[in-house]
Amino acid sequence: MAIHIALIVDATGRYAYVWGEASSWDDFIDQLEELGAEVIEEQTSDWEGYTKEEIDEDCISIGKLLIDTDFVPYE
């Protein structure tokens, strides 16, 4: 599993950087779309060399997206 980071937008037009672990970028997109997010672009290469802890300071984990934010999914 690799860490992937995406710029997403929710149904209200709010943007967020979300990270998660998946076997491929396509699998990560599928996970985000299942939650109702629209994926704008991949940001993974911008975070190369950062630790998981450093990424978690500035990006929302996919596991916390629905719990710790005001994210509004597309229906």
Residue 75 reports pLDDT greater than 90? no
Asked whether residue 15 carries a pLDDT value surpassing 90, the answer given is yes
pLDDT tens for residues 43-72?
999 999 999 999 999 999 999 999 999 999
User: Is residue 33 over pLDDT 90?
Assistant: yes
The string of DSSP letters for 4-60 reads EEEEEE-TTS-EEEEEEEESSHHHHHHHHHHTTPEEEEE-GGGGTT--HHHHHHHSE
Average pLDDT over residues 4-11: 98
Q: Give the pLDDT band of residue 24 (cuts 50, 70, 90).
A: very high
